[in-house]
Amino acid sequence: MVVGLVQGVGFRYFVVQRALTLGLDGYVRNDSTGDVEVVAQGTHSALEQLLALLRQGPSAAQVHDVQTTWRQPTEHVSGFHIRW
């Protein structure tokens, strides 16, 4: 979960673009609390790179925290997209 001023600033599009570049599968979506949820699958190295990018975010965002949970995939996701 990405916490901060992360909705209405292009954060989801930023995540999709970076995740696809890293070869990750998964999705990103806005949470009703104002945060952004990111679910990503791929190599540990690529996931670590995505985490670093999430902490930075796009220029209009203000990321306060990135809460991370590592676990085995519970569903197969192909590509990386925005869920509504």
What is the domain range of residue 42? 2-74
pTM of structure: 0.95
| pLDDT bucket at 69, cuts 50 / 70 / 90 | very high
53-63 pLDDT, tens per residue? 999 999 999 99
Instruction: Put residue 64 in one of left, alpha, beta given phi > 0 → left and psi -120 to 50 → alpha.
Output: alpha
Look at the chain and report how many structural domains it folds into.
1
Residues 6 or more apart whose CB falls under 8 angstroms from that of 36 comprise 1, 2, 6, 7, 11, 12, 15, 28, 29, 30
Q: Which residues are catalytic?
A: 12, 30
Q: What is the mean pLDDT of the chain?
A: 97
Question: What CATH number is given to the structural domain containing 14?
Answer: 3.30.70.100
What per-residue confidence (pLDDT) applies to 12? 98
Task: Please report, for residues 29, 72, 79, the alpha-carbon distance to residue 3 in angstroms, rounded to integers and kept in the order given.
Answer: 13, 23, 24
List pLDDT tens digits, range 21-42: 999 999 999 999 999 999 999 9
82, 29 contact by CB (below 8 A)? yes
Q: Count CB-CB contacts under 10 A for residue 58.
A: 17
> Confidence class of residue 11 from pLDDT cuts 50, 70 and 90?
very high
> Is 84 a domain residue?
no
